[in-house]
Structure 1
């Protein structure tokens, strides 16, 4: 029987983390490329800023539906087929976006973006796979290691928006659709990496080792209280984790979706907006190991509180940023990404701690549905708010909304 501080299968856990990291580097490029130009592509085809947030809403809604599928496939067959299916679907959506741009067909574009969102579902659920075989004392670090791997691809993706646009132009494809060439290839390769090398499957191996029973036995003497009390604590822990991630996701999508549009309207080119998005994506994932260490060391609640405060700071900086200052906008989106990272790692760790291994993958899939819906709402609403008011109003409102995490923490603490 392993202790709480060690993995029951350390060699397998190391291999799983390496393979997941490689897949995340590839898929991160696919995700970030689409984020960079999705709103601009819709704005170009519809000639309307008010609906520029629709692409973000659509591929986030697509990730919600895909999260259910990925979770159910993972529950029944393991992480390998579940995650690979999501990546492959995202690749199909990327190809369809290119076809829609060539045909200048908005209806096909919206359907394609919905399908493209499946890649995001696998991007996020890979973090759960990193923790399947992790020791309870190091779960947050395992989650954050997988997230950190997205940094490389996430930084590469936006910065090749201009070159892929030029490549697309040589083939008669609209320049703004160019990054989806990269997205299709990246998602396909990520699926291939998992199918070939994610062996053993971490979830199936964790079940065979009866990890949940070992954790329960190792912590039985220190858990304390009656079984109903433990169940109640698990329920409140799960709810706080979900709500923390929902709020940070909603705020992030609302602000980041409209930033490229805001910059475009002030004369900045694709390269400038790509740089800002690259900084943002780097800040979302690069600090993950440090965030994981903080959660493992000090607990999920303080880091969740930090997510709300950091997101507020991001909103204030974005609102105050001069329209011609790429540097200040990059700082604002870096803070926004950091706040999201704090919320995602702390919230994910709460959920993993609260959900039994036997139903973990299915529950995690459903949790990510709510996360995707929050992102879709933020993306869709952002265009409407910016069109009716301003980018500054959108940014400040989002930052204030993120502070709702603090009373949620207080309410959860008072109920325990």
Structure 2
């Protein structure tokens, strides 16, 4: 599988299916593993350190996006995807061993678990970059739909993954292992599956020479309106989504609602984030990536206005706001990814995709860290209002986004 290579319909169907299975398997690994790792670290060293495993996964994903995109440029998409998933297998094994080691030394166990989450993050980078691999196999007029099918795979991990934690713990205890190892042992199996299906993708062809692209070329690309719009849309959507989503459970808890209400509201959010991805892809192919980004920005603004006006409505207001927050993010995500999947030379495209992915995941960390002090100082409604203003930023770039500057290599 290579960028810019014609793909038969049979190969396209098989490869898209393999990419989708890989994403599903990796999400079934990452979502429960992050949840359990947070709980384990909190239990070992206190709640103040509970966010470290999640942050480690984000760092691993950002680093993986950068490093794997370089591998893909010099050795092809398949090599990069297989490498990322293979590192995740190792990460899952180390995580299981970390839980066992923690029964003897908390410091050793915690250190191993954080390192394991970085490795799992590298696997997650393969899952994130898979949508670009799917887009490569589709003609330009269907590229948005192709990548959206792979994004849709995140639905399974987001909705099913957490429900697997308890059964995995029971199975681990049944064979004499610590209960918390169960999720990581399960992750070994799912990451092996992701690696195996990635290895069945068509043999890749490199699209660039070994080594890095020159900084002048990268700077020229980053000045084009196409790249600026894609980066701005994806980063602002990620910041807005993460900041509001992170503080919503705390807002509900503050007003006396239990985990059942929190789960219902977050389920609506996850459905918005992933379930309608094929619709977003169709819209992108029909109306263009810029129109999809515009729609996503408007939906994000509306979502945050609803959260601002109904910050305590757990039956209608917040579920609707969080669903729209997820779908606005999805529209910007699919639209921005589509822009980065076309209009650019293939070697540069791969490098930019990895770089943008790293920035997007870095913005996740910024959004989650910044949201807390804003919530504490001004409250949930003011946080939503600030998010609404930020969500409108991509709309200001759309008038200049019609130009298609050439980027020389």
**TM-score normalized by structure 1?**
0.78
Which residue in 2 is equivalent to 1:83?
81
- Partners of 1:364 and 1:70 in 2: CA distance: 10
- Highest relative contact order (Cα 8 Å, sep 6+), 1 or 2? 1
Residue aligning to 1:213:
none
1:44 Cα deviation (Å)?
Answer: 4.5
Deviation at 1:311, TM superposition (A): 2.2
1:348 alignment partner, SS class? helix
* Candidates 179, 189, 192, aligned match of 1:188: 192
- Post-superposition shift, 1:173? 3.4
Q: Are 2:22 and 1:23 equivalent residues in the alignment?
A: yes
Tell which deviates more after alignment, 285-294 or 392-401: 392-401
Contact 2:26-2:190 within 8 A present in 1 as well: yes
Q: Which residue of 1 aligns with 2:397?
A: 408
Deviation for aligned residue 1:299: 1.2
The aligned residue for residue 168 of structure 2 is 164
- The question of whether the paired residues in 2 share the 8 Å contact of 1:33 and 1:182 is answered with no
Q: Secondary structure at the match of 2:293?
A: helix
1:149 aligned onto 2:147: no
Cα distance between partner residues in 2 of 1:410 and 1:39 = 43
User: How much has 1:340 moved relative to structure 2?
Assistant: 1.4
| Residue 198 of structure 1: aligned partner | 201
Instruction: Decide whether the 8 Å contact of 1:56 with 1:380 is kept in 2.
Output: no
Deviation at 1:46, TM superposition (A): 4.8
The equivalent of 1:173 in structure 2 is 178
List runs of 5+ in structure 2 lacking aligned partners.
Answer: 209-219
Q: Deviation at 1:96?
A: 3.7
Q: 1:134 maps to which residue?
A: 138
Gap regions ≥5 residues in structure 1: 209-230
Q: 1:95-135 deviations in whole A, cap 9, x for unaligned?
A: 44445455244444433333321122111100011011211
In structure 2, which of residues 117, 122, 147 is the aligned counterpart of residue 113 of structure 1? 117
Q: More deviation in 105-114 or 142-151? A: 105-114
Match of 1:122 in 2: 126
Deviations 1:213-257 (A, max 9, x none): xxxxxxxxxxxxxxxxxx989921111111111111122222334
* CA shift in 2, pair 1:404/1:162, >3 Å: farther
Q: Distance in 1 between matches of 2:7 and 2:118?
A: 39
Residue pair 1:235, 1:354 contacting (<8 A) in 2 also:
no
The CA deviation at 1:284 is: 1.7
Partner in structure 1 of residue 296 of structure 2: 307
Q: Hey, what's the Cα distance between the residues in 2 that align with 1:173 and 1:22?
A: 29
Give the conservation status (yes or no) of the 8 Å contact 1:57–1:375. Answer: no
Task: Specify the SS of the correspondent of 2:339.
Answer: helix
Aligned residues of 2:311 and 2:380 also touching (Cα < 8 A): no
Residues of 1 paired with 2:294 and 2:198: CA distance? 35
The alignment status of 1:251 with 2:240, answered yes or no, reads: yes
Structure 2 CA distance for partners of 1:120 and 1:400, relative to 1, 3 Å:
farther
Q: 1:232/1:374 Cα in 2 relative to 1: closer, same or farther (>3 Å)?
A: closer
Kept in 1: contact 2:33–2:183 (CA 8 A): yes
1:92 counterpart residue number: 90
Q: 1:56 to 1:12 in 2, by over 3 A?
A: same
Q: Return structure 1 stretches of 4+ with deviation > 6 angstroms.
A: 231-234
Structure 1 residues 309, 94: CA separation in 2 closer, same or farther (over 3 Å shift)? farther
Q: Which residue of 1 aligns with 2:258?
A: 268
> Structure 1 CA distance, aligned partners of 2:306 and 2:287?
28
Aligned-partner SS, 2:138: coil
Q: Provide the rounded CA distance (Å) in 2 between the counterparts of 1:316 and 1:53.
A: 29
Following superposition, the deviation at residue 17 of structure 1 comes to: 1.0
Contact preservation (8 Å) 1:234, 1:354? no
Alpha-carbon spacing, 1:384–1:234, altered in 2? closer, same or farther (3 Å): closer
> Does the CA contact (< 8 Å) of 2:307 and 2:318 recur in 1?
yes
d(CA) in 2 for partners of 1:391, 1:379: 14
